[in-house]
Amino acid sequence: MANNEVKNAVGRMVPTQINGQEAIPFKGLNKHRPTGRKFGPHIPTTIDYPTDGNKVIHSLKEALQKAGLRDGMTISTHHHLRNGDLVANEIFRIAHDMGIKDLVWFPSASFPCHEPVIEYLKDGTIHHIEGSMNGPLGRFTTRGGMKGVGILRSHGGRVQAVQDGEVKIDIAVLAAPAADKFGNATGQRGPSACGVLGYAKPDYLYAENVIVVTDHLVDFPCFPMEIEGNYVDSVALIDKIGIPEKIISGTTRITKSPDRLLIADLTARFVEATGMLRDGCYMQSGAGGTSLAIGYFTHQILKKKGWKSRLGFGGSTQYMVNMLEDGTMEHILDAQAFDLEAVRSISENRNHHQYPVFNAYNFHSKGNLTSMMDIMILGATEVDVNFNGNVVTHSDGYMLHGIGGWQNCLHARNVILPVPLFRDRIPVIRDEVTTIVGPGELIDVIVTERGIAINPLRQDLLDAAKGSGLPIKTIEELKAEADRICGKVSKPKIGDKVVGAIKWVDGTVIDVVRNIEA
Chain residues that interact with a copy of itself, rule: CB under 8 A:
30, 33-53, 55, 163-165, 182-184, 210, 219-221, 223, 225, 228-233, 310-311, 331, 333, 353, 356, 358-359, 362-369, 371-372, 411, 413, 506
Torsion, Cα of 44, 47, 50, 55 (10° steps): -10
The secondary structure of 442-496 as a DSSP string is G--EEEETTEEEE-TT-HHHHHHHTTS---EE-HHHHHHHHHHHH---PPP-EEE
Q: Which residues pair with 453 in a beta bridge?
A: 446, 473
Residue 27 burial class via C-beta count within 10 angstroms: exposed 0-12, middle 13-18, buried 19 and up: middle
CB of 80: closest distance to a copy of itself in angstroms? Answer: 20
- Please count the other Cβ atoms lying within 10 Å of the Cβ belonging to residue 427: 24
Rounded to a whole number of angstroms, the minimum distance from the CB of residue 10 to a copy of itself is 18
**Residue number with CB closer to a copy of itself (120 or 363):** 363
Closer CB to a copy of itself, residue 232 or residue 383? 232
Cβ count within 10 A of residue 147: 13
Question: Least separation, in Å, of the C-beta of 206 and a copy of itself?
Answer: 9
**At closest approach, how far in Å is the CB of 55 from a copy of itself?**
7
CB of 411 to a copy of itself, least distance (A): 7
- Specify whether the CB–CB gap between 227 and 183 falls below 8 A: yes
Q: Which is nearer to a copy of itself, 139 or 181 (CB)?
A: 181
The residue among 61 and 364 lying less far from a copy of itself, judged by its C-beta, is: 364
Q: What are phi and psi of 334, to 5 degrees?
A: -125, 130
205 versus 268: smaller Cβ distance to a copy of itself: 205
Q: Which residue number, 30 or 490, has a Cβ lying nearer to a copy of itself?
A: 30
Indicate the angle between helix axes 289-305 and 258-273, nearest 10 degrees: 40
Closest to 237 measured CA to CA, from 58, 90, 103: 58
Least distance (Å) from a copy of itself to the CB of residue 67?
Answer: 12
DSSP notation for 151-208: EE--HHHHHHHHHTTSS--SEEEEEESEE-TTS-EESSSSTT--S--GGGHHHHHH-S
CB closer to a copy of itself, 25 vs 135: 25
Query: Do 511 and 437 form a contact (C-beta atoms < 8 A)?
Result: yes
Residue 441's CB: how many other CB atoms inside 10 A? 15
**Cβ pair 100, 71 in contact under 8 A:** yes
Minimum CB separation from a copy of itself for residue 493, in Å?
40
User: What DSSP string describes 289-301?
Assistant: HHHHHHHHHHHHH
Our CB check for a copy of itself shows the closer of 37 and 484 to be: 37
CB of 508 to a copy of itself, least distance (A): 12
Closest approach of Cβ 216 to a copy of itself, in Å?
19
Which residue number, 182 or 270, has a Cβ lying nearer to a copy of itself? 182
